[in-house]
Amino acid sequence: MSKIIVANCFQETNSFHPNPTNYEHFDVRFGQDLFDAGRQDISGALNVFSQQANIELVPAYGASMGAGGTIAQMCFDRIAEECLGAIEENNVDVDALYFSMHGAMAAEEEKDPEGYLLEKVRKLLGANVPIVISLDMHGTLTRRMLRNIDGAAILHTYPHIDWYQLGERAASMLLCILEGAKPFIASVYTPTMVRGDELKTATGVHGTLIRYCERLEERNDVLAAGIMLGHPPTDVPEQGSRIVIVTDGNKKLAAQEALKLGTDFWAMRARMQCVLYRVEDAIEVAEKANGPVIFSDAADATSSGAPGTSNAILKGFLQSDYTGRVLFPIRDEPAVEKAMETGIGHTIIVSLGGTKDSRFIPLEVEVMVEMLSTGNYFSRDGRMENAGFLAVLRAKNITIVVSTQSGVLCDYSMYLGLGQDPKKFDVIIVKLPHTPHDLYDAWAVRNMTIDVPGAASPNIKTLGHQIVPRPMYPLDEDMSFIPRVEIFS
C-alpha cells in the first residue's frame, strides 16, 4: 500500500494590481473537502491514482484562488502554517506527495512562496519521499522549487484546456517514480518575458515547442517535458522562462533536450512579444472594417489579475467621432449603485472607471440607464450563474455594461442575459489577453490588442518592474545571453 498526500496552493499574483490579496480571497479546504472542490488538475490525478490498487490517498490541504494582487504576508504566513501543519499531521509512513500549484505566487516579503513551501515540505518528508508538482505555465519555477522536487508537470496549452491532463501527467510521473524510476531534472532558464499571439498553442510558435515536448514525453525514459513561460505581471527575483526535462535516469538526453529547447526559445524571444495598437489607430481600423472588430484590453484583463476598472478605451471612443456600435464592459460598483437608484429609462451623469486602480481618472459620462439586472443568467451549458448586480448604460453609440464583480467581464452568456448580443456590435471590447475562438474570433473580422495602461499590460516595458533580474528581455533589448543547462537531482 502506497500512501500519497495531495495538497494544493494556487494563486497567480499580479504585482502591479493596486490591492493586496488577503486570506478571505482564498478558497481554503482541509482534508476531504479538497477533493470535493472538483479542481480539474486534482481530478485528473485522482483518475490516474484510482486505477491503481494499493494506493491510499490523503487529501491534506488546499488554498486556491485565481489571479489577484500581491499576497499579504500575514495571509501567506497563515496559509503556509495551515498547509505545512496539515501535511505534518499526516506524515506517518508517507510514500509520496502530489502538490498542485500555480507557480506565480508572490507575497509581500516572500517572493518565492512555492519554493518556501516545497523546501519546508522536503524537510518534513525527508529526502526519500518523492514530491511531484503540477504547474500553470504562467509562473516562475525557481531553483529553490527545483531543488526540492522530484518532478514537475506543466500545462501544455494556452488557452488552458489541459488542466485535467496536467493532473494525469503529474500522477503518472509520481507512480513511475514510486515504481522505481530515477528522476533526473535538467533545466534551461532564459531571461525572457513573453506575451502575444505566438503563445497560443494551436497557432503560435509555443505550440511548435510544445509538440516537441509531447513527442519527447512519448519516450519511455522521459517522465516530463515542459515550458514555464514566466509571468510578466509578477515582479519576482527569478522572473523568466524555463525549460524543464525530467528523464528516468537518462542524464545525457535530459541535458541535451533542455538545451535544445532553451536555445530555440531564446532565439524566438522577439516573436513572442505582443503586437499592439494605439486606441486611435485601432478605431481607424474599425472604421474601415467590414464586420465586427474585437479590441482586446489585455492590460486590464481580470484573468491576469487586473481589477477590471480601466476606462482607457472608453475614453478613446468618447474622444473620437466614431459612430459605430460599441460594447464596452467595466467593473464599477458605485456606478451600478447610482444606476439602480436612478432607475431604468432615466439619464444621469455617472463617474466611470478607476475605482480600484488609480492609474485611471474617473470619466464623467452622460448615460441613459437602459437595463438593470440582479446578475442571474444561464451559461452556455445551461447552468444558472450569478454575475452580481449589473447595469447596462447607453452613451450615444456606446453600450456600457457595468459590473460589480471582476470575473464576469468577458462572459458571452452574461451579455445575452442582458439582451446584448456581442455579434450585433461593430466594436466589442474584451478584457482578456486572448478571446476564446468560438465565442469571439470565429465571427470577428479583426482582433487587436490595444496599447493602454493597466496592471496586466502586454506592453511589458510599461509595467514598471523593480525586482526582476536584469538584463531581461525585452526590458534590455540588446542584451546577449547564452543558454546553459542546470541540473537538479
**What are the distances in angstroms from CA 78 to CA 18, 24, 73, 90, 117?**
22, 11, 9, 19, 12
The edge-to-edge listing of strands for the beta sheet with 183-190 is 222-228, 241-248, 183-190, 485-488
Query: Residue 390 or 455: which CB sits closer to Zn ion?
Result: 455
**Comparison of 136 and 162: residue with beta carbon closer to Zn ion:** 136
Tell me the Ramachandran region of residue 382: left when phi exceeds 0, alpha when psi lies from -120 to 50, beta otherwise: left
Q: Binding pattern to Zn ion, positions 137-156, x when CB under 5 A?
A: -x------------------
CB 449 within 8 A of CB 274: yes
Q: Work out how close the CB of 102 gets to Zn ion at its nearest, in angstroms, rounded to a whole number.
A: 8
Question: Would you say 394 and 420 are in contact if contact means Cβ atoms under 8 Å apart?
Answer: no
Give CA–CA dist 46/60, Å, rounded.
14
In the complex, least distance from residue 37 CB atom to Zn ion, rounded to whole angstroms: 19
Q: Of 163 and 425, which has the nearer Cβ to Zn ion?
A: 163
CB of 400 to Zn ion, least distance (A): 29
Q: How many CB atoms lie within 10 A of CB 177?
A: 21
Applying CB under 5 A, the site for Zn ion has a residue count of 2
When the beta carbons of 138 and 356 are compared against Zn ion, the nearer one is 138
29 or 138: CB nearest Zn ion: 138
In the block, which residue shows the cell 487587436?
448
Distance CA 114, CA 9 (A): 8
Please report whether residue 102 would count as binding Zn ion according to CB under 5 A: no
Residues in contact with Zn ion, shown as a per-residue x/- string from 107 to 136 under the rule CB under 5 A: -----------------------------x
CB of 145 to Zn ion, least distance (A): 17
CB of 62 to Zn ion, least distance (A): 18
DSSP bridge pairs for 12: 67, 104
Q: Which of residues 335-354 bind Zn ion (CB under 5 A)?
A: none
The residue of the chain with the least Cβ separation from Zn ion equals 138
- One-letter amino acid at 406 equals S
CA–CA dist 456, 273 (Å, integer):
14
In whole angstroms, the minimum distance from the beta carbon of 160 to Zn ion comes to 6
Fill in the per-residue mask, 20 to 49: x = in contact with Zn ion (CB under 5 A), - = not in contact: ------------------------------
Query: Rule CB under 5 A: which residues touch Zn ion?
Result: 136, 138
